[in-house]
Chain A
Amino acid sequence: MNPFSYLEALRLAAPETALAVAALAVLFADLGGMRGESLRHRAILGAGITAVGGAMALLWLGFAPGYGTIAEGVLVTSPLTQLVKAGLVLLTLLVAGLSLDPRFTGHVGEYFSLLLLGTIGMMVLVSTQDLLMLFLALELTSLPLYVLAGFNKRDRASAEAALKYFFFGSVAAAFLLFGFSLLYGVAGSTRLPVIAAAVALKPPDALTLVALVCVVMGFGFKVAAVPFHLWAPDAYEGAPTPAAAFIASGSKVASFAVFGIVLAQGLGPMAGGADWHGFTTGWLPLLAVVALASMLLGNLAAIAQRSVKRLLAYSAIAHAGYLLLGLMALATPANRPAALAAILYYAITYALSTVGAFGIVAVVERATGSDAADGFNGLARRSPALALCLMIFLLSLAGIPPLAGFLGKFYVFVAATRAGDGSLSLFWLVLVAIALSVVSLYYYLKLLKRAYVLPPDGAVPATRPDVMEFVVIGMTAAAVLGLGVFPRALLEPLALAIQQAGF
């Protein structure tokens, strides 16, 4: 074993270190100098320090990226991990931009500090190949998210959302840990490549199958797939809106990335088959059932929702179903680079449109006092720019060209069709997914009809975003439109990075 080099570790983990320093700086600055100041000033300082930390991390990721491996895979950095991390930092900065009006709390320093700590967890999550580090990073992501969901101490719904999120999350974490312990028993190691080699040796026995089910349950919770989705609608509705945006965006991207890494690099040899006329043992049939249930329940339950945040939660469940289709495409080794690029493109563009949509919900919520769909009536007359951005986000979520959501779906469905070496074994799921995308258009259009066709109810106060909210919403809308028209701007770096990472 080589001697452990702390300098090397610091070089590879420099972006995370920058964020950790920023997290501490936010805490000290807010506790130290800002006690008597107004909430607004404290929030501007907090978001400012967050932005400085994030900018340092982004600069490091962009201009001095260190590639390497420490301690046999505990921390692995490659062009791919650095690209995903840059996306995660960007999403955090966008969420911080939505948090400048924190009327939900008096603890501004803690809020931004937890936001940064959660981001560090996500960044470590995507750059490790060791189960121990993976579990720690997952908890470092989850614990701040639970607290953020319950950040509004005056609001009962917020406490309730956090408690439900916490209970479902910790049971899922316990399942995941149990699964990891069995995988360790099977392989005698916690490193993903060693586990892959061990499960490739023999046909799956009872122990590996239990481990597999536990692992799928644990990650299924993180990505909010049916039947592990029960926390999502409550957590989205009860949590303060910027916190909900964070739960819905960054955590989703990181969870899907790490789920894909574990399935492809750790459990690749025991994929099995999910052909509609013949399931064979492995994780493909499991994911097929989960994906099918997520698409069905997510899309159908979203129709009945009156709260826009709940609607976004059910739409998130449906999108998790589509993304699971992409994960299933990872089972065919020849198909892996294209499938991974499709998943990441989909997840990142989805996260962008979700952050934007939550930004609009935050603005409307402030004007009308709730996130009920009625509050969106006549939005186009009150604020045409907001309504236009809302249309871009919702149509992208529904998958209408030329927006990014359409291409994301297209690439994921193509990857799923090509899975199984031309045997079209997943084509039945792709057909279901396309049919349900049409259903999803119905509830997105219903919300747009409120914004554009219905008159406003009575005397609704002016709906005006503040400057940073407007910048965030505008930027995400431009990104969703831009990445839809020029998908190569994201796809080419992704493909190159995946190739260099040796997938």
Chain B
Amino acid sequence: MSTLQSFLIVSALLFGIGLTGVLTRRNAILVLLGIEFMLNAANLNFIAFWRFGPNPEALTGVMFALFAIAVAAAEAAVGLALVIAIYRHARTANLDAVEELKG
């Protein structure tokens, strides 16, 4: 098994762990954490493909990862703000309590 393959397996695992967290956790903050896992799995892919790819002198993979990190930070900021907004109404960050809209 080549190094690239082991990197891909690690990133796939990371993505799977993140997705499991998103689907099973009921606390909004932990769901946010799961999403960060998934984004970082993709970042790991970018770095691995860049490092072991045919032309590492073009810095595409690194650049993509850097931008993705910045976007993830912005997304976390918006996400936390929305969690606070719901906390002000429901007095909890538990997603099971967020069920007013149905149909």
**B65 CB to nearest chain A CB (Å):** 9
Does A184 reach chain B (CB closer than 8 Å)?
A: yes
Does A146 reach chain B (CB closer than 8 Å)?
A: yes
Contact B79 A166 (CB under 8 A): yes
Contact A171 B35 (CB under 8 A): yes
Does B17 reach chain A (CB closer than 8 Å)?
A: no
Contact B86 A163 (CB under 8 A): yes
Does A24 reach chain B (CB closer than 8 Å)?
A: no
Contact B54 A188 (CB under 8 A): yes
**A372 CB to nearest chain B CB (Å):** 12
Contact B89 A190 (CB under 8 A): no
Give the residue name and chain of the A residue nearest to B38 (CB). Answer: A174
Give the residue name and chain of the B residue nearest to A191 (CB). Answer: B60
CB-contact partner of A190 in B35, B45, B60, under 8 A: B60
Which residues of the partner chain A approach B67 to less than 8 Å between Cβ atoms?
A: 132, 135-136
Does B100 reach chain A (CB closer than 8 Å)?
A: yes
Contact A170 B79 (CB under 8 A): yes
Contact B79 A177 (CB under 8 A): no
Query: In chain A between 303 and 356, which residues have their CB closer than 8 angstroms to a CB of chain B?
Result: 304-307, 310
Does A410 reach chain B (CB closer than 8 Å)?
A: no
A491 to B89, CA, bound (A): 48
Contact A177 B42 (CB under 8 A): yes
Contact A177 B68 (CB under 8 A): yes
Does A161 reach chain B (CB closer than 8 Å)?
A: yes
Contact code string B22-50 (vs A, CB < 8 Å = 1, else 0): 10000010010001001101110110110
A147 to B60, CA, bound (A): 31
Does A153 reach chain B (CB closer than 8 Å)?
A: yes
Which residues of the partner chain B approach A160 to less than 8 Å between Cβ atoms?
A: 86, 89, 98, 100-101
Which residues of the partner chain A approach B75 to less than 8 Å between Cβ atoms?
A: 139, 143, 170, 173
A325 to B95, CA, bound (A): 35
Does A227 reach chain B (CB closer than 8 Å)?
A: no
Contact B78 A143 (CB under 8 A): yes
Which residues of the partner chain B approach A180 to less than 8 Å between Cβ atoms?
A: 42, 64
Does A78 reach chain B (CB closer than 8 Å)?
A: no
Contact A139 B79 (CB under 8 A): no
Contact B85 A153 (CB under 8 A): yes
**B53 CB to nearest chain A CB (Å):** 5
A170 to B40, CA, bound (A): 13
Does B71 reach chain A (CB closer than 8 Å)?
A: yes
Does A366 reach chain B (CB closer than 8 Å)?
A: no
Which of A162, A167, A304, A307 has most chain B Cβ within 10 Å?
A: A167
Give the residue name and chain of the B residue nearest to A153 (CB). Answer: B85
**B29 CB to nearest chain A CB (Å):** 12
Give the residue name and chain of the A residue nearest to B84 (CB). Answer: A159
The number of chain B residues with a CB under 8 A from chain A is 43
Contact code string B70-88 (vs A, CB < 8 Å = 1, else 0): 0100110011011101101
Give the residue name and chain of the B residue nearest to A175 (CB). Answer: B38
Chief secondary structure at chain A's binding surface: helix
Contact A237 B101 (CB under 8 A): yes
Query: In chain A between 89 and 142, which residues have their CB closer than 8 angstroms to a CB of chain B?
Result: 131-132, 135-136, 139
Question: Beyond A153-B85, A167-B31, A188-B54, is A174–B46 a contact (Cβ under 8 Å)?
Answer: no
Contact A162 B85 (CB under 8 A): yes
Give the residue name and chain of the B residue nearest to A314 (CB). Answer: B103
**B10 CB to nearest chain A CB (Å):** 13
A384 to B35, CA, bound (A): 49
Contact B101 A238 (CB under 8 A): yes
Contact B15 A132 (CB under 8 A): no
A305 to B103, CA, bound (A): 7
CB-contact partner of A189 in B60, B68, B78, B98, under 8 A: B60
CB-contact partner of A185 in B53, B89, B90, under 8 A: B53
Does A233 reach chain B (CB closer than 8 Å)?
A: yes
Which residues of the partner chain B approach A234 to less than 8 Å between Cβ atoms?
A: 101
Give the residue name and chain of the B residue nearest to A178 (CB). Answer: B42
Does A464 reach chain B (CB closer than 8 Å)?
A: no
Which of B28, B63, B64, B90 has most chain A Cβ within 10 Å?
A: B64
Does A450 reach chain B (CB closer than 8 Å)?
A: no
Does B55 reach chain A (CB closer than 8 Å)?
A: yes
CB-contact partner of B42 in A181, A190, A233, under 8 A: A181
A181 to B60, CA, bound (A): 11
Which residues of the partner chain A approach B55 to less than 8 Å between Cβ atoms?
A: 188
Which residues of the partner chain A approach B83 to less than 8 Å between Cβ atoms?
A: 163
**B83 CB to nearest chain A CB (Å):** 7
Binding site for B on A (CB under 8 A): 131-132, 135-136, 139, 143, 146-147, 150, 153, 156-157, 159-164, 166-167, 170-171, 173-175, 177-178, 180-182, 184-185, 188-190, 233-234, 237-238, 304-307, 310
Interchain residue pairs with CB less than 8 A apart (5): A146-B82, A178-B38, A180-B42, A184-B49, A233-B103
**Which 10 A-B pairs have CB atoms at the shortest separation, nearest pair first?**
A174-B38, A181-B45, A185-B49, A156-B89, A177-B42, A159-B85, A234-B101, A178-B42, A181-B42, A159-B86
Binding site for A on B (CB under 8 A): 8, 15, 18-19, 22, 28, 31, 35, 38-39, 41-43, 45-46, 48-49, 53-55, 60-61, 63-64, 67-68, 71, 74-75, 78-79, 81-83, 85-86, 88-90, 98, 100-101, 103
